[in-house]
């Protein structure tokens, strides 16, 4: 959505810098493959790069593919301090600012207003209501969410933080701490007892349609996907959906608040000054306000404080997004070079929990595996 919206406005920027701009629109996998091929060859035909900070920025920094923007973002007119703290911090690696966040997301509790007049405020209330509303004979489930081993990790992260845990502590695995085990067990009970069959095979693409088809009462996933849930072409419940902040757990409500996409500059670009002008424009208050009014959540605090900029979202959703942003944690997955492998390890106890198996021994085994992984990952990072 962001790329298409910006492409429609490129003429404004071209007029500003008196240069033509060529923009390529790729899938995430295509983009990663293109970067790997081109940047390994020190290609100069890419200037501005869209980057997923939490998925690949650490690797790109290790490969020295991104230009250091630390001095540029400190320009008074740019207003780096105006960016929300968690996305701002996620764009910084090794003390260097390597990207500027342009699209953010948080989890939101989607619920059926026709089934639930008042949304649950705590995780305990959510589980109780989900179990009460589950009627497998009629094909209605109390809760649907991601349960697939790797794909579920990012959404489970908010449950982990709200139980007082994290993926790592002082560079070592923390997935077998009492807090993490409690978060695994809670999520397993929620999805295992109140969710649809086959939940351990479900990521976004499988869970979202179940809620959109009216087969579940509650669903927690990224706020950025709400348009797909209200689109009458694919959703049977668009008019009855309610939105609420992430429920409170034993350690409070601690949802993730992350930059799903940021802009960086190719270190090999010969047009870095022009590339920075593009980022100044694309991440500036004026354009961010326009895009957020159109329903694309940005990272600037001043724009979120502008009631007109929130008009692109349903009022209840806008309020939930702002609450989650204030409480947000700046990562939704382990912060490592090999993110995919780390998610696979962390997701193993989660699958066991959903299958209603003993979680603690699986978590301890995964914890040992994750610690070994972290040693290798840190060694690779330092090489």
pLDDT at 1 over 90: no
pLDDT band at residue 27 using 50, 70 and 90 as cut-offs: confident
Q: What is the pLDDT of residues 155-174, one digit of tens each?
A: 999 999 999 999 999 999 99
pLDDT at 383 over 80: no
pLDDT at 47 over 80: yes
What φ, ψ does residue 341 adopt, rounded to 5°? Answer: -65, -40
Is residue 172 within a helix (H) or strand (E), and if so which, with residue range? strand 172-173
Q: What is the pLDDT of residues 184-199, one digit of tens each?
A: 999 999 999 999 999 9
pLDDT band at residue 28 using 50, 70 and 90 as cut-offs: confident
- What is the per-residue DSSP string for 60-112? HHHTT-B---TTGGG-TTT-GGGB-HHHHHHTEETTEE--EEEEEE-EEEEEE
User: Would you state the pLDDT for residue 192?
Assistant: 97
Q: What is the pLDDT of residues 104-120, one digit of tens each?
A: 999 999 999 999 999 99
pTM of the predicted structure, to 2 decimals: 0.93
Q: What is the Cα–Cα distance from 226 to 91, expressed in whole angstroms?
A: 25
Task: Of 19-33, 45-59, 92-106, 363-377, give the lowest mean pLDDT range.
Answer: 19-33
Task: Share the mean pLDDT of the chain.
Answer: 95
User: Could you tell me which residues are beta bridge partners of residue 243?
Assistant: 110
- Give per-residue burial for 3-41: e unless 16+ CB within 10 Å, then b: eeebeeebeebeeeeeeeeeeeeeeeeebeeebeebbee
Q: What is the pLDDT of residues 333-353, one digit of tens each?
A: 999 999 999 999 999 999 999
Statement: 1-104+259-327 belongs to CATH 3.40.190.10: yes
Q: What is the pLDDT of residues 260-283, one digit of tens each?
A: 999 999 999 999 999 999 999 999
Tokens of 366: 């995964």
CB atoms under 10 Å from CB of 131, counted, come to 14
Query: Which residues make up the CATH 3.40.190.10 domain(s) of the chain?
Result: 1-104+259-327, 107-255+336-381
**Greater confidence, 13 or 381?**
13
Positive or negative: CA dihedral 325, 291, 99, 338 = positive
Q: What is the pLDDT of residues 295-334, one digit of tens each?
A: 899 999 999 999 999 888 999 999 999 999 999 999 999 9
User: Would you state the pLDDT for residue 382?
Assistant: 78
pLDDT at 228 over 80: yes
Q: What is the Cα–Cα distance from 181 to 353, expressed in whole angstroms?
A: 9
Question: Is the CB of residue 251 less than 8 Å from the CB of residue 176?
Answer: no
Statement: 107-255+336-381 belongs to CATH 3.40.190.10: yes
Task: Of 108-112, 130-134, 171-175, 375-379, give the lowest mean pLDDT range.
Answer: 375-379
Q: What is the Cα–Cα distance from 238 to 212, expressed in whole angstroms?
A: 7
pLDDT band at residue 358 using 50, 70 and 90 as cut-offs: very high
The Cβ-side half-sphere exposure at 174, using a 13 Å CA radius, reads 18
What φ, ψ does residue 5 adopt, rounded to 5°? Answer: -65, -40
């Amino acid at each position: 959505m962001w790329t298409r919206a910006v492409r429609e406005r490129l003429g404004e920027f071209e007029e500003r810098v008196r240069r033509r701009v060529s923009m390529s629109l790729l899938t995430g996998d295509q983009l990663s493959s293109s970067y790997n091929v081109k940047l390994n060859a020190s290609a100069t035909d890419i200037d501005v790069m869209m980057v997923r900070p939490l998925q690949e920025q650490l690797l790109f920094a290790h490969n020295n593919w991104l230009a250091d923007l630390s001095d540029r973002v400190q320009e008074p007119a740019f207003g780096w301090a105006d960016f929300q703290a968690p996305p701002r911090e996620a764009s910084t690696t090794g003390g260097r600012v390597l990207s500027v966040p342009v699209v953010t997301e948080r989890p939101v509790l989607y619920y059926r207003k026709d089934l639930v007049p008042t949304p649950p405020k705590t995780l305990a209330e959510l589980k109780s209501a989900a179990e009460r509303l589950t009627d497998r004979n009629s094909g209605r489930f109390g809760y649907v969410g991601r349960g697939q081993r790797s794909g579920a990790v990012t959404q489970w992260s908010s449950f982990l933080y709200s139980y007082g845990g994290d993926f790592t502590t002082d560079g070592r695995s923390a997935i077998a701490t009492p807090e993490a085990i409690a978060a695994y067990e809670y999520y397993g009970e929620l999805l295992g007892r109140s969710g649809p069959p086959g939940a351990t095979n479900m990521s976004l693409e499988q869970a979202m349609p179940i809620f959109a088809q009216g087969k579940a009462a509650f669903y927690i996933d990224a706020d950025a996907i709400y348009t797909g849930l209200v689109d009458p072409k694919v959703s049977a419940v668009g008019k009855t959906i309610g939105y609420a902040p992430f429920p409170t757990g034993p350690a409070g409500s601690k949802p993730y608040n992350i930059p799903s996409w940021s802009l960086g500059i190719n270190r090999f670009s010969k047009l870095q000054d022009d590339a920075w002008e593009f980022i100044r424009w694309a991440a500036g208050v004026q354009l961010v306000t326009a895009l957020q009014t159109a329903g694309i959540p940005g990272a600037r605090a001043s724009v979120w404080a502008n009631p007109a900029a929130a008009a692109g979202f349903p009022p209840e959703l806008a309020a939930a997004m702002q609450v989650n942003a204030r409480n947000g944690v700046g990562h939704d997955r382990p912060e490592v070079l090999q993110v995919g492998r780390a998610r696979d390890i962390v997701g193993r106890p989660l699958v066991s929990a959903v299958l209603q198996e003993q979680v603690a021994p699986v978590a301890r085994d995964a914890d040992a595996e994750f610690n070994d992984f972290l040693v290798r990952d840190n060694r690779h990072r330092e090489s």
